[in-house]
Structures are given as structure tokens and as C-alpha cells.
């Protein structure tokens, strides 16, 4: 472990159930007045199992960089997964250990029109990026942004109210939420994220001058990359991605 990333103790300050298996958990670091990171980065949580063996798992930071010592995580319970269940079982006041920040899945300094694509808890780094972007006009003016979010059921749409409010407040931000198994009760967009990506690109000259950021499970990430490269001829330098498996 790099000496520049020492183990830090963090206390749970809030825990919210987002769906049956997903939680939004807020932390504050102890003995640290400020935690610096770049939107899109992650932390690694390190805790011991009953046998004393330490387990480390990485989680994207779901909050924007703030002038304090806090951060938010969004995570799923995974069947037989030690760390996800361990974290979801933590209550307000409990402490965990983590190190970071880590990762290079961050916005380019020279922003272009940008599409963010995620499924499930892959939305976490984009919540961080979106909240950071729209804090100051100089960060977002003159550019268009799309947030394509896909999941199976309406109960698994995370941070929907926040993104819809962001869309209302900023005409250049477009929230595209789609369900693959929405059923008749769902009146919003249906299908997979790739379907709506194609619609956007076809309406904007194939997106030749755009950038895309993708976060989620490998199957989705690979599928989106194939659409961009094979169907629209994108250069790999335009495509930024982070896999969760």
C-alpha cells in the first residue's frame, strides 16, 4: 500500500435505503479536517473478516468534492459478499477504515459535449461529476451533457430526484432514464442504454466531437464501447470507462 494513502478511520453519519439491496451511506473522516479528491475517483475500504484476514474493496465516491472531511458511497448488497454486506450493516456512529482517493476515471480538463452512461450503482461517480460540474457556470457553459441511466425496474433508479432537478435547472443537462423491464406501469423510456445512446448520436452527427464516460458491469461497458467504435467510428481516446466486475 502506498505511503501516500494511509489508512483512515471514517464514521457513518447517515445511511439511507435506496432500494431493497442498495444503500446510500455518508461518512466523515476522523482526525482529518478535509478529504481532497477529484470527482470520479474511488476509495478502498479495508476491514478484517472473522478469521482476521483483511479484505479490501473499491467503491466510487458518490459525492462531489467538498471543503470538508466527508464523502458518500452508493453500494449494493452482494450475495455472499463480505464487504458490501458489512458496510450495509453499519449504523450511524459505526467506524470503518479506508484509504484513497484512487483512480483516473475523472473528467478531462478540456470538456467537450459529454455523455455519461451507467447502470445500477455505476451511477455513483456520475453523481459526483454532475454535482461538481453544475456548481459553477465556467465548468459547464457552452457544452451539452447527457446522463443515460439504465436499470431493470423503477425501484432501482438511484438519485432520480436529484438528476431531474438538475435537468430542470440546467437546459444543457439531459437526464435519460430507461428501464429494460419497466412493465406497463412505467411510462418513461424503455430499452437498454445502447438504444438511447444511438438516438443521441444520430441526432448529433454521430458524436464526432463528443466524449463519453461509462461505468457499470463489464457486459454493459463492452456493449456500449462496441456501439461507439463499430457503429459510429469513435476513436478510443473519446471513450472513458470503469468496470465494476
Rounded to whole angstroms, the Cα distance separating 77 from 21 reads 5
Angle between helices 193-202 and 218-226 (to 10 degrees): 20
Residue 61 CA: distances (Å) to CA of 43, 65, 92, 180, 215: 7, 9, 19, 26, 13
Q: Record the cell numbers describing residue 155, joined without a space.
A: 425501484
The residue extents of the domains of the chain are: 7-102, 114-243
Whether CATH 3.40.50.970 fits 114-243? no
Torsion of CA 88, 93, 96, 99, to 10 degrees: 110
Mean pLDDT of the chain: 95
What pLDDT is stored for residue 55 in this prediction? 95
| Cα of 176 vs its chain's centroid, Å | 15
Superfamily of domain 7-102: Translation factors (2.40.30.10)
Residue whose C-alpha cell reads 447502470 in the numeric block = 119
Give 45's pLDDT tier (boundaries 50, 70, 90): very high
> With 70 as the cut, is the pLDDT of residue 206 above it?
yes
What pLDDT is stored for residue 137 in this prediction? 95
> How many Cα atoms are found within 13 Å in the side-chain-facing hemisphere of 22?
16
- Give the pairing type, strands 239-243 and 210-216: parallel
Across 61-90, average pLDDT: 96
What pLDDT is stored for residue 4 in this prediction? 57
Instruction: List pLDDT tens digits, range 66-75.
Output: 999 999 999 9
219: enclosing H helix or E strand: helix 218-226
Give 183's pLDDT tier (boundaries 50, 70, 90): confident
Across 171-193, average pLDDT: 93
Across 41-64, average pLDDT: 95
Across 48-58, average pLDDT: 93
What pLDDT is stored for residue 59 in this prediction? 97
In the three-class reduction of DSSP (H, G, I as helix; E, B as strand; rest coil), residue 46 is classed as: strand
> With 80 as the cut, is the pLDDT of residue 27 above it?
yes
In the three-class reduction of DSSP (H, G, I as helix; E, B as strand; rest coil), residue 137 is classed as: helix
Across 19-41, average pLDDT: 96
Rounded to whole angstroms, the Cα distance separating 167 from 152 reads 22
In the three-class reduction of DSSP (H, G, I as helix; E, B as strand; rest coil), residue 190 is classed as: strand
Across 148-155, average pLDDT: 95
In the three-class reduction of DSSP (H, G, I as helix; E, B as strand; rest coil), residue 216 is classed as: strand
% of the chain surpassing 70 pLDDT = 98
Instruction: List pLDDT tens digits, range 94-135.
Output: 999 999 999 999 999 999 999 999 999 999 999 999 999 999
What pLDDT is stored for residue 182 in this prediction? 83
Q: Can you list the alpha helix ranges (DSSP code H) found in 37-179?
A: 82-88, 124-133, 137-140, 160-169
Amino acid at each position: 500500500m502506498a505511503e501516500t494513502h494511509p489508512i483512515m478511520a471514517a464514521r457513518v453519519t447517515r445511511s439511507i435505503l435506496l432500494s431493497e439491496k442498495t444503500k446510500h451511506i455518508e461518512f466523515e473522516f476522523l482526525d482529518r479536517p478535509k478529504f481532497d479528491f477529484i470527482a470520479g475517483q474511488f476509495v478502498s475500504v479495508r476491514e478484517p473478516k472473522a478469521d482476521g484476514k483483511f479484505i479490501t474493496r473499491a467503491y466510487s465516491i458518490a459525492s462531489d468534492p467538498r471543503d470538508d472531511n466527508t464523502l458518500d458511497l452508493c453500494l449494493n448488497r452482494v450475495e455472499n459478499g463480505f464487504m458490501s454486506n458489512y458496510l450495509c450493516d453499519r449504523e450511524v456512529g459505526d467506524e470503518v477504515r479506508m484509504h484513497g482517493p484512487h483512480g483516473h476515471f475523472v473528467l478531462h480538463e478540456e470538456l467537450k459535449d459529454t455523455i455519461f452512461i451507467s447502470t445500477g450503482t455505476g451511477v455513483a461517480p456520475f453523481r459526483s461529476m454532475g454535482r461538481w460540474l453544475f456548481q459553477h457556470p465556467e465548468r459547464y457553459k457552452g457544452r451539452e451533457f447527457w446522463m443515460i441511466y439504465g436499470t431493470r425496474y423503477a425501484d432501482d433508479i438511484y438519485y432520480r430526484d436529484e438528476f431531474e432537478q438538475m435537468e430542470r435547472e440546467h437546459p444543457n443537462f439531459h437526464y435519460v432514464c430507461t428501464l429494460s423491464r419497466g412493465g406497463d406501469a412505467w411510462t418513461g423510456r424503455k430499452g437498454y442504454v445502447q438504444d438511447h445512446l444511438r438516438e443521441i448520436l444520430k441526432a448529433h452527427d454521430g458524436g464526432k466531437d463528443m466524449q463519453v464516460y461509462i461505468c457499470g458491469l463489464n457486459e454493459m461497458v463492452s456493449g456500449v464501447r462496441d456501439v461507439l467504435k463499430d457503429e459510429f467510428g469513435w476513436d478510443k481516446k473519446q471513450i472513458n470507462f470503469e468496470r465494476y466486475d
